[in-house]
Amino acid sequence: MIYLLLISIFVSLILTPFFKKVGEKYGFCDLVSEDPLKIHQKAISYLGGLAILLTAIVLFFVGMVFEKSFNWQIFGIITGGIIVFLIGFWDDFKWKKERIKPAKKFLFLILFSILTAIVLLVIDIKIQFFPVLWLSFPLTFFYILGAINAINFEDGIDGLAGGLVGISLIGFIILAIILGQSLALVISLVLLGAILGFLIFNFPPAKIFMGDSGAYFLGFILIVLASIFSKPFDVISIAAPILIIGLPVFDTGLTILRRILQRKSPFFGDRAHFFDRIIQRGFSTRKTVLFSYFLQLILVVLGVTIYLNLSLNIKLF
């Protein structure tokens, strides 16, 4: 299935610069402003997430055409991905300019996360730790809400969010190959290719951003993969995928905890994330990104090893 990865990279390499030009021409750009959270020096297109989404859609549907079969699960995943993408795109296009209240935005995120959880439930993809509907549904919703925000939190410097997700996808690819999970393998390969093509233009200094839309979409896909590998009453099958998602989970958890302890709203952004603190110590953006990649790789290796060693009794070491 390596052809899926190569074709996905190729399509992404075509779509990403195209949407860079579209964004710059029609004003779909993250503008320079007095907002201290914005550190770029010029307007940059935020349509990179659209390039990633469309790459995935093209590959999924072309694959179904060649296989001459319609896959309802793939269709449902695409539908859920489009839903979270749209709320992120509206945030990029409208809410950031209007300075919407964070609490109001969070309410919409909750509603859209519930909707996507319902979509996944319909196609029988859910966090299966509790194998009963009334418990698995809220857990799936909570994971979706957490993941889309976690990836969005990491999209604070060039090349970070996409690279971290890409490393996570490698971990899920390894699990999918070893366990023979074809759906997870197809999803992971297609998305990894889409991200690699995007990163060529997003690695510092970035020429295009993925926007909240891209971050939400990638966070959603990670939860789809985590759900596929979850099993009833198996703590390892829940904990290991969290490690594979990795640094975004831990940074988000610590960020929310820090803001609460400082008696600040967890909804308001700041420049005190893990990567911000590294930069403040004198690291360049590139070195910070590469160091974060290294930490992510450690977490992913740990997550894959734990899942296979303890959950399935496959001894890797």
Confidence band for 313, pLDDT divided at 50, 70 and 90: low
Phi, psi torsion values for 44, nearest 5 degrees: -130, 135
pLDDT digits (tens, 9 = 90+) for 66-82: 766 678 999 999 999 99
Which tens digits make up the pLDDT trace of 277-304? Answer: 898 888 999 999 999 999 999 999 999 9
Per-residue tokens: 199: 């990163």
| 255 part of a folded domain | yes
Amino acid 130 reads F
268 inside domain: yes
Residue 316 domain flag: no
Its sign, for the CA torsion 192, 160, 38, 18, is negative
**Full domain range(s) for residue 165:** 2-311
**Quick one: CA dihedral 59, 60, 65, 68, positive or negative?**
positive
Sequence-ordered list of residues with C-beta below 8 angstroms from that of 158, at least 6 positions apart, any chain: 202, 203, 204, 205, 206, 285, 289
Q: Are 292 and 247 in contact (CB under 8 A)?
A: yes
Give the model's pLDDT for residue 255: 84
Closest CA to 101 of 243, 224, 268: 268
The DSSP 8-state label assigned to residue 92 in this structure reads I
Q: How many domains does the chain have?
A: 1
> Helix 2-26 to helix 182-202 angle, to the nearest 10 degrees?
40
* Exposure class string for 229-263: b at 16+ Cβ within 10 A, else e: bbeeebebbbebbbbbbbbbbbbbeebeeebeeee
**Beta-carbon contacts of residue 171 (< 8 Å; ≥ 6 apart):** 244, 300, 301, 303, 304
Stated as kind and residue range, the H or E segment containing 295 is: helix 285-306
Query: What Å distances lie between residue 164 and 103, 171, 263, 267, 289, CA to CA?
Result: 27, 11, 30, 23, 9
Residue 98 DSSP SS3: helix
What proportion of the chain, given as a percentage, has pLDDT over 90? 68
Is residue 187 assigned to a domain? Answer: yes
pLDDT band at residue 86 using 50, 70 and 90 as cut-offs: very high
Provide the pairing of β-strand 29-30 with 44-45: antiparallel
With respect to residue 317, please indicate whether it lies within any of the assigned structural domains: no
pLDDT in tens, 232-256: 999 999 999 999 999 999 999 888 8
Average pLDDT, the chain: 89
Give CA–CA dist 184/243, Å, rounded: 17
CA dist 63 and 273 (Å) reads: 39
DSSP at 196: H
Distance (Å) of CA 214 to CA 118, 152, 275: 21, 8, 20
